[in-house]
Chain A
Amino acid sequence: MVRVSGLEKNYRDGDRQIKVLSDLSLELRAGQSLALTGPSGSGKSTLLNVLAGLIPSDAGEVALCFGQHNFALHQMHEAALTRMRRHYIGYVYQFFNLVPTLTVLENVRLPARLNKAKELDQLAVDLLCDFGLGARLDVFPHVLSGGEQQRVAVARALLAKPPLILADEPTGNLDVDNTARVAQLLFGTAKEMGLSVIVATHSEEIAGRADQHLRLGGPSV
């Protein structure tokens, strides 16, 4: 379960202070999905980064509860946040989702290897086959199309079955067909596996697939 209350996040630009997130609260139950929409600069990516523990919030509380494991992000130090990310969070970016020096299969296996979970090796192959990439396991990412790369990224995020998937505009760079395909794989597989998904998107189609929808306003100076 994800619980955020009274979250604030500001950025400084010289003398100006840009208020990106202000008094934000939300709650997401396990296995549910949430779509974050809003104009550019409204704080969608910032919220995802705060939830992943990549950046600290300025005020408010962020709590993640995964079964027996509870994390109060605002009280945790960096090393603990890194450990939490490694075990409980899957992340999908819009661009450059893959490590260019690892093959498709190695990219998918990466989170499992970070967790020393070699038993997931075969699952990685199965997932990639299910995602239509069975013939491209040993190629490097630069030979894949954008849609294929994003499917690999989704497979990687799902492999270790982390209870929370964070996706930052995962289809923002794709055509309509690929958007539909990636959205189907992300939401369908997550639902099958019982994983929570929070996705930041401009796409109404993606937002429509989520169980909940949160629209963020623009930043204030």
Chain B
Amino acid sequence: MALMGVALGVTSIVSVHLISGTVARQLDALVPASLARYTHFMHRDALSSDDYFQLRRQWRAGVAQDIQSMSPIIDETVLLNGKSVRVLGVDLMSAGEVLRESVLVEKDNSANGWSWQGVWVDATLVGQLQYRVNGVLALPAGTVIADIGVAQSILGWPDDRLSYVGISLVDRWGGLKTWGENLMPGFGSGLPSSEVVFSGLPGWHVRSLAGQHPASTFGKSVLFNISALGLLAMLVSWFLIYQVAVSWLRRLWPVLRRLNVLGVQWRALCFYFVSAMIMVGLVSGVLGLFIGQALAEMLFSLAVGGDDAYFPLEAWVVGKGLLSALGVCCFGGAWAFRSARRPSRQIPRRGWLCGGLIVLAGSGVFFPDSGLIGGFLSIAILSMVAVSIAGPLLKWLRGYAGYIRGPYFLRLSLREALWYPQDLAVALSGLSLAVATAIGVTLMIDSFRTDFSRMLERRLSYDVVVQGDSAALHQLQSDLGKMDAVSRVQAYSEFITRLQGVPVQVEMSQMDRTETARYGYGQSLSARQALISEQAARALGLKTGEGFRLESSDFEVMGVFQSFGDIQPRILVGLDAAPIFEAQTLSALSLNVDTPSALSEALRKAYPQLELTRQSEIRRLALATFDRTFTITTVLILIALLVAAIGVYIAVTTLRLNKQVSTKLLVALGVSHAEEAGMDFVLGLGIGMLALVLALPLGICFGWILCAVINPRAFGWTVDLQLSAGGLFWPVFWGLTAAAMAGVIRIGRKEGVGHDDV
């Protein structure tokens, strides 16, 4: 059981790490290698090459000395042959080498390997463009990379226009961050990102790489959440491993004490015990590595789909898994030994310590600048507070054990759950943390699902949504005008632009009452009014009633709408504002029709190039995607609960050593096996209920932090915490079941009357 317990602990550590690492690599691939070397992007209105060269001169003169290197960049999206294509223009003098190294397939080779007038494309664009292709790169679908001049020509821009200046800033903590990222993939996105301002360069906005590529940032935020949850699973695993040490020592202690009486030094006995623990750690650690690898593959295919994921056991994960097992076995074993020799040393001023920790947790919650790490640090600190009061709470409750009444079996078992605080405190802490995490995450997911469903309810007011090629959409729009069955056609145009240097998606449509009601506003928008998403409000620092300048025109924010799942900040304006903007592409049509299924069928035949989705289908797909997103989270919680349950089982096994004599007495008094099993069940249930005393308030606290602190910081959206019965019931049910099962299950030798009693 000790082997299995430690192995399971390592399994959870390894599987979480491998999944996080794989997702991190996939997210990194979203940013082309030629841009990944920049840490920040600088932007100003109507950026030109003159601005760039002036900036360069100022930099050379000593302004903004933190900048290590800079290059001009073009990064725009354009329609080419009916396809939406992202055009990246880079300085080939500096980025050419990077491009050449990342080429998957060479094309149209010239003497030096590639042509200055050529382009690099991803596999989906091969043969689709009328430009010479230098090579195929591993890029997000629909991406072209070319020299600045070529990119300007593709976009039809004047030859002095630029999108950004990419800069690389000195990062003093870079090495440490790399370590952190290797140890805990996704760690970097949790760090607070301070705004970079160069006082000597007025008019320039500076954006970080993360802010510039919101898809990657969004993904990494999800990843950080998973990793943080994995960290909690790791913490519970450490508790389990420590519990193994405590329980094993408890069994060995009478023998060790006798050996000491016979003259063996305590130091030698401690060395023997810790060595044995290290052996257990080593064997089970190796076992856990392989089981963890298999579990990661299974979970990944469950959550993401597909079976092409490969999870190599790299040095970092092997080190992390084995060091966890060996470290906790070694130090936990030594600590358990020390505690057994000098029991119950009080931590001085525990109350003050807890108070200080709670204040620290509060600062992580109430100071947004502490970022995602601040939020999770609060959760970690609250966990520490809960863990530190588990033992004293048990001791305090033991004083009231006499008040437990009711049938004798019940009172006997429930009191036993309070009677041995030193044996139970560690397992109780582990179970409390696991159940609290389960409660917190389930409450968050439930609340999120409720808000998400409400948002879908509002947004999906149209029967059919049509997306695809702009020309075909225009054709369809004119055809729909002639159809009686169609009661409303809503057309949407969109384009990407930059506001204060932030890439934003601007969406134009007929913003009458019906349309704005979908976004919770309910009034028509005039030409200079806009609705903005929560992400836009956060990124641009805007509130309802405030104004912003877009394409040289002033707009007023009339409302902020929830937009779960949006990656980029979004701004909605009415068609009256259309003349202000240059580039608009008809991107979608929404229809209200009498017979959606019949019309959908007809349109599918008439417009095979367009994608038609019915309202019910969108809802189903959206909710399915939502549920799949949280599959890994749910499985991680289950792993944590399982690990905690094994911790409780091991603690109960130790408890049985204490109970051995009273069990023998009860058997002599005529207590049957069934009654004994019933008492064990109630004992487990009692431990589970004790865990709930800590886990319920802690879990609700976690849920609130996840909804009100972590979600806004990670994704820019707010979720209203709802204390739903389901959100509380299932974690409580599973926690109690796990504890009750841990109480009932008996593996190995049964205590009874033996030879010693002759």
Contacts and interface: CB of A to CB of B under 8 A. Distances in A.
Interface of A: 11, 13, 20, 41, 43, 45-46, 49, 52, 54-55, 78-79, 82-87, 89, 91, 93, 95-103, 106, 109-111, 113-114, 138, 140, 219
Interface string B639-664: 00000000000000000000001101
Given A85-B670, A101-B419, A138-B402, A11 B755 contact: yes
A78 B674 CA distance: 12
B158 to A, nearest CB: 87
B416 A101 contact: yes
Given A11-B758, A49-B757, A100 B662 contact: yes
B668 A54 contact: yes
Interface string B91-108: 000000000000000000
B665 interface: yes
Given A45-B758, A101-B415, A140-B402, A54 B669 contact: no
Contacts of B673: 78, 82
Please tell me the size bucket of the interface on B. Answer: 20 to 34
Determine the main DSSP class of B at the interface with A: helix
B427 to A, nearest CB: 18
Nearest to A107: B665
Given A87-B670, A102-B412, A96 B665 contact: yes
Contact of B670 (A55, A93, A96, A111): A111
B402 A114 contact: no
Contacts of A95: 661
A195 to B, nearest CB: 16
B528 to A, nearest CB: 76
With most chain B CB atoms within 10 A of its CB, the pick from A43, A49, A52, A101 is A101
Nearest to B416: A101
A114 B416 contact: no
B625 interface: no
With most chain A CB atoms within 10 A of its CB, the pick from B402, B662, B670 is B670
A46 to B, nearest CB: 5
Contact of B672 (A82, A100, A103): A82
Interface in B666-684: 666-673
16 contacts: A43-B758, A55-B753, A85-B668, A86-B671, A87-B670, A95-B661, A96-B662, A97-B665, A99-B412, A99-B662, A99-B666, A100-B419, A102-B411, A102-B412, A110-B669, A114-B670
Contact of A54 (B411, B419, B753): B753
B758 A46 contact: yes
A101 B419 CA distance: 7
B352 interface: no
Contacts of B402: 103, 138, 140
B757 A79 contact: no
Determine the main DSSP class of A at the interface with B: mixed
The 7 lowest CB-CB distance pairs between A and B, nearest first, are A86-B670, A101-B415, A85-B670, A96-B661, A91-B668, A113-B408, A82-B672
A97 B661 CA distance: 8
Contacts of A91: 665, 668-669
Contacts of A78: 673
Interface string B390-430: 00000000000110000010011001100100000000000
Given A82-B672, A101-B416, A113-B408, A54 B758 contact: no
A19 to B, nearest CB: 11
Given A95-B661, A103-B402, A85 B669 contact: yes
Interface string B737-758: 0000000000000000101011
Given A82-B670, A110-B408, A140-B402, A46 B665 contact: no
A83 B670 contact: yes
Contacts of A89: 670
Interface of B: 401-402, 408, 411-412, 415-416, 419, 661-662, 664-673, 753, 755, 757-758
Contact of B671 (A11, A41, A46, A82): A82
Contacts of A219: 758
Contacts of A138: 402
B667 to A, nearest CB: 7
Contacts of B669: 85-86, 91, 110-111, 114
B670 A101 contact: no
A6 B402 CA distance: 48
Contacts of B753: 49, 54-55
A218 to B, nearest CB: 11
Nearest to B415: A101
Contacts of B672: 79, 82-83
Contacts of B662: 96, 98-101
Nearest to A79: B672
Contacts of A79: 672
Nearest to A102: B412
Nearest to A86: B670
Contacts of B416: 101
B665 A99 contact: yes
A52 B668 CA distance: 7
Contacts of A55: 753
A148 to B, nearest CB: 17
B757 A45 contact: yes
A138 B403 CA distance: 11
A114 B758 contact: no
Contacts of A84: 670
Nearest to B668: A91
A115 B584 CA distance: 87
A183 B364 CA distance: 68
B702 to A, nearest CB: 33
Given A54-B753, A101-B412, A114 B668 contact: no
B665 A20 contact: no
B671 A114 contact: yes
Contacts of B664: 93
Contacts of B412: 99, 101-102
B665 A114 contact: no
A97 B664 CA distance: 10
A186 B691 CA distance: 44
Given A49-B753, A101-B416, A111-B670, A93 B758 contact: no
Contacts of A41: 758
A46 B757 contact: yes
B401 A101 contact: yes
Nearest to A101: B415
A93 B755 contact: no
A18 to B, nearest CB: 8
A103 B419 CA distance: 13
A216 B127 CA distance: 103
